[in-house]
Amino acid sequence: MTEKEIQRLLIDVRRGNLPLGRALERLRRLPFEDLGFAKIDHHRSLRQGYAEVIYAPGKRPEQVVSVVRRMMRNEHNILITRGTRALYRRVKRVARSARFHELSGAISIRKNSKVVGKGLILVISAGTSDIPVAEEALVTAEVLGNRAESLYDVGVAGLHRLMGHQQKLSAARVIICVAGMEGALPSVVGGLVRVPVIAVPTSVGYGASMSGVAALLAMLNSCVSNVAVVNIDNGFGAGCLASVINRL
């Protein structure tokens, strides 16, 4: 509820157009709608410029479909993360334009293909096993209205592979850098560019990788200063934040 609306409400109260009880109630009530198992927040996209997003794990297919059906009534893109092909088939029935992104399990429904981000979001991954997380970031950035490109398998063990793409690096306005194991890529990339780098540790690795904690710690300790970190495997979060930055 904006300050303006409150002002209007107070004017209505003063003019006697609005009974006290209802004024009180409106001051308390904030805009959301109750589906029983989850409150959809239509205004969230207004407040935050996001598309609607559904995190699939732990939800039954019919729950997801029912939420999608409701969401289809307004104009936002829809993104379902960590879905399955089976879920995709059911969603497809209520949303013709749904697309399945196999590696990451993302399902995207684009009703609006306008590009609102100002520059290019580049998603870099260190190894081939990091691609599912990178793809989630890529799809998220696109659904949220950005131009996005990828650059995969350019880990620090073979610097020449990364170095061969310096033009791509310098073309980006925001970089998402996805890496598991020792998580060294964001430090190297951060040292080569002057744009923000969002580091995404992945759970790729074994033993002392501790399900991604090694990469996470490495990224938090990065010796460059244009890097910030999101949760392990959180490609979605990185895509969102990149989009928020890219709209500035």
Q: Where are the alpha helices (DSSP H) in 40-158?
A: 43-48, 61-71, 85-94, 131-143
Kindly state whether residue 228 participates in binding a second copy, applying the rule CB under 8 A: yes
Query: Based on C-alpha coordinates, what's the Rg of the chain?
Result: 21
Segment interacting with a second copy, rule: CB under 8 A, options 38-46, 72-80, 93-101, 104-112: 38-46
Please report which helix (H) or strand (E) contains residue 177, including its range.
strand 172-179
Kindly state whether residue 48 participates in binding a second copy, applying the rule CB under 8 A: yes
- Identity of the residue, 92 or 149, whose beta carbon is nearer to a second copy in the bound complex: 149
Footprint of a second copy on 56-95 (CB under 8 A): 58-59
- Identity of the residue, 24 or 115, whose beta carbon is nearer to a second copy in the bound complex: 24
Kindly state whether residue 156 participates in binding a second copy, applying the rule CB under 8 A: yes
Spatial separation of the C-alpha atoms in residues 89 and 69, rounded to whole Å:
14
Measured over the CA atoms of residue 133, residue 99, residue 82 and residue 51, the dihedral's sign is positive
Kindly state whether residue 116 participates in binding a second copy, applying the rule CB under 8 A: no
Segment interacting with a second copy, rule: CB under 8 A, options 71-79, 93-101, 105-113, 157-165: 157-165
Footprint of a second copy on 118-137 (CB under 8 A): 118-119, 126-129, 131
- 194 CB-side CA count, 13 A: 0
